[in-house]
């Protein structure tokens, strides 16, 4: 039999409209972490826009900010409702330009920490962007495996590929300006690494119990 305090609590919950939301505690905590992380990324991009000088980098910043914000709003919508959002997720698409990557290292000055905000240039800003995008891609990948609601899970999972695509766009910008140089193995070592594996050719022989 319920004691008076329990009965009063149940009545209060009913009258205030509190209902069982059927959402896992782990899911709720992880989604709070995901949404807070996305807000942090958006806030960082606002700061970067005030410091960036190169028009190409500013264009990337604005395009990615608007895309991330739209998907943040979509995620909040389905997270609260637990139902299919008002529109589907979309894929982030870089401009249709030929992808050219410069391989090899060229001599450059050793990097070191800056001592003043005035030393933060487009190189540092694009590096901050790349790190933040990769961090969010990793975070959302882990959180997807913990989300119970099927709609929310799919919305979060769909964004992982978008973050990797945005990170790749920033990498291409950095590589173009020699901020991110791609080291190479010599030809002999490279060929050996490329041909270190072969496809399987037979079905495994599994013993029948």
The CA angle 163-168-173, to the nearest 5 degrees, is 130
Identify whether 75 is part of a domain: yes
Residue 1 in this model has a pLDDT that exceeds 80: no
Average confidence (pLDDT) over 198-205: 82
Identify whether 205 is part of a domain: no
Helical spans, DSSP H, in 52-121: 55-81
Identify whether 126 is part of a domain: yes
Average confidence (pLDDT) over 14-35: 73
pLDDT at 15: 44
pLDDT at 186: 87
pLDDT tens by residue, 138-185: 999 999 998 999 999 999 999 999 999 999 999 999 999 999 998 988
**Closest to 127 measured CA to CA, from 163, 180, 166:** 180
**E strand residue ranges, 62-208:** none
Decide if 52 contacts 122 (C-beta within 8 A).
Answer: yes
Sign of CA dihedral 123, 124, 127, 129: negative
Identify whether 47 is part of a domain: yes
Average confidence (pLDDT) over 39-68: 97
Total domains in the chain come to 1
Residue range(s) defining the domain that contains residue 139: 25-94+120-186
Length of the chain measured in residues: 209
Identify whether 157 is part of a domain: yes
Other Cβ atoms less than 10 A from the Cβ of 28: the count is: 14
How many CA atoms lie within 13 Å of 135's alpha carbon, on the beta-carbon side? 13
CATH number of the domain enclosing 59: 1.20.1260.10
Identify whether 148 is part of a domain: yes
Sign of CA dihedral 30, 67, 94, 152: positive
How many CA atoms lie within 13 Å of 33's alpha carbon, on the beta-carbon side? 17
Mean pLDDT of the chain: 88
Residue 16 in this model has a pLDDT that exceeds 50: no
Identify whether 128 is part of a domain: yes
Identify whether 74 is part of a domain: yes
């Amino acid at each position: 039999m319920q004691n008076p305090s329990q009965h009063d609590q149940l009545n209060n919950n009913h009258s205030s409209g509190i209902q069982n939301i059927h959402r896992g505690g782990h899911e709720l905590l992880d989604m709070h972490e995901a949404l807070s992380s996305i807000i942090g990324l958006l806030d960082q991009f606002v700061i970067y826009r005030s410091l960036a000088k190169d028009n190409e980098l500013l264009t990337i910043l604005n395009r990615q900010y608007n895309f991330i914000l739209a998907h943040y709003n979509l995620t909040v919508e389905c997270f609260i409702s637990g139902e299919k959002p008002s529109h589907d997720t979309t894929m982030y698409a870089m401009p249709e330009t030929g992808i050219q990557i410069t391989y090899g290292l060229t001599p450059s000055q050793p990097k070191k920490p800056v001592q003043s905000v005035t030393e933060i240039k487009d190189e540092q800003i694009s590096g901050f962007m790349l790190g933040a995008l990769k961090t969010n891609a990793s975070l959302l990948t882990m959180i997807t495996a913990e989300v119970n609601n099927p709609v929310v899970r799919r919305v979060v999972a769909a964004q992982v590929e978008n973050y990797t695509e945005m990170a790749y766009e920033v990498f291409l910008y950095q590589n173009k300006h020699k901020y991110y140089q791609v080291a190479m193995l010599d030809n002999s070592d490279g060929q050996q690494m490329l041909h270190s594996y072969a496809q399987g050719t037979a079905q495994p022989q599994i013993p029948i119990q």
